[in-house]
Amino acid sequence: MTDLTRLTIAQARQKLRAKEITSSELTGAYLAAIERANPELNAYVVVTDEKARAMAKASDERLAKGEARALEGIPLGIKDLFATEGIHTQACSYVLDGFRPRYESTVSANLWADGAVMLGKLNMDEFAMGSSNETSYYGPAINPWRRSRATTSVMPTTHAGEAGFVSAGGVKTERQLDNQRLVPGGSSGGSATAVSAWLCAAATATDTGGSIRQPAALTGTVGIKPTYGRCSRWGIVAFASSLDQAGPIARDVRDAAIMLKSMASVDPKDTTSVDRPVPDYELAIGRSIKGMRIGIPREYRVEGMPEEIEALWQQGIAWMKDAGAEIVDISLPHTKYALPAYYIVAPAEASSNLARYDGVRYGLRVPGKDIIDMYEKTRAAGFGREVKRRIMIGTYVLSAGYYDAYYLQAQKVRNLIKRDFEIVFADGIDAILTPATPSAAFGIADEDMANDPVKMYLNDVFTVTVNMAGLPGIAVPAGVDQKGLPLGLQLIGRPFDEETLFRAGAVIEQAAGRFEPERWW
């Protein structure tokens, strides 16, 4: 029997509408897979078993009547940053211990309105602050991919058909998996893990400086951060309000297009959401990119970039050329200032947004001798180390005497970064091709990363510019490194031109093929 969890959204949608399978069967298969795998992978912090089965049953009743909606009966995972009515919503932080909102985020409400089924809440870095999912109060999500190493052995004869490659000379080469646990990236690490390990058909995620695209690249999945304002932020726990944007992580480009169509909308409850028609993104898949002008920014060749990342980038350029696109060298001169500017703007906004968590209205409360003491004890106990670090940085750059020197200067740099992109796009560039990450997945509790936060922050070096400029960006799996780990390429587009990203992303996907981990869990 076909493993139902291996179906893409598009495949499952077809089978559901043809009544070859039911949503209850599909949902049951995912719940069983979660029960088996989650103790190893820690992708879900809450599994909503009863709710999922009830939603699936309701979808089956609608499907039986021929009333299928866009995502009817499709089981999804929801990042713990999205408010879900009556269900655990803690941004994977102890400070929100026990919080169950009385309202639903606009994005998740849109998905339920389109018939999707909720499997549970997904792990993430605390308050979306991290690039490895190691800052979660619930412990790290684990990447389903593992490093592999080549081993050779001399065989007396050629054994065609055995696992591994056997040369005519009788030398057999195999790849063996390493036991080291790897990070799935962050902050949407649980979302990326769940999608990559077949624990949901797709997942919601958020991206403040790369938190959709980086984990997608590290897990062989597709992640798109849409234009700022394309998806409502209402009901999403805020990190940095001028940078945060919701988007999907999915198995392939088509599934990401299907998901974004349902997630996006204008919302009167969010003044930053933009009142523009939401296209049927799926129609962009398969369209030619002949004549499209693809920019290659010279500033993205950063010092110390591994040769295999450069080789992957060159391969992506070749695929674009082969598909008929014109390759154009471009300059984004203020790129080198993006990461330091981001790590001033984002912590400043986080400092302001997280001031509300004081133990008074909801979540954790640690008693104190007076209200100030209660505030201090609650926040000291409730926030993790990385969140405290960013609150302190943010409070510092907003303080008297430093606001002009740091925060205002960072905002000026942000405007220059945005202007760089505007000039390039005004010159006829349709999309920009770059690497998605500076490396493949690294180990859990990696000493270099743990002892040097700046090295962790450098994981966002290729992604933060997109958030600073409010642009759309997509990460598509494009190859594997020498140890068999997935690597991704990033495409950056014009504001509200996600369709072009889906068109070009599908070209990369078609050329590179699909990447799936070897099941060990």
CA atoms of 286 and 504, how far apart (whole Å): 9
Bridge partners of 76, per DSSP, are: 118, 202
**DSSP letter at 407?**
I
Cβ atoms 108, 404 nearer than 8 A: no
CA atoms of 330 and 295, how far apart (whole Å): 6
CA atoms of 106 and 264, how far apart (whole Å): 9
**Residue carrying the six token digits 């993104």:** 281
Tokens matching residue 200: 């949901």
Active site residue 225: no
Sign of CA dihedral 393, 398, 401, 407: positive
Active site residue 412: no
Q: How far is CA 255 from CA 126, 190, 450, 501, in A?
A: 27, 18, 35, 14
* Residue closest to 510 by CA, chosen among 258, 325, 326, 322: 322
Active site residue 79: yes
CA atoms of 248 and 265, how far apart (whole Å): 14
Cβ atoms 14, 91 nearer than 8 A: no
Name the active-site residue from 93, 136, 187, 191. Answer: 187
Name the active-site residue from 79, 121, 225, 261. Answer: 79
Estimate the share of the chain in helix, then strand, then coil, as percent rounded to the nearest 5: 40, 15, 40
β pairing state of 431-435 and 293-297: parallel
Tokens matching residue 501: 């990203």
Q: Which helix (H) or strand (E) holds 207?
A: strand 202-207
Rg (CA), the chain: 23
Name the active-site residue from 108, 136, 211, 232. Answer: 211
* Residue closest to 312 by CA, chosen among 433, 394, 151: 433
> Which residues does the annotation mark as catalytic?
79, 187, 211
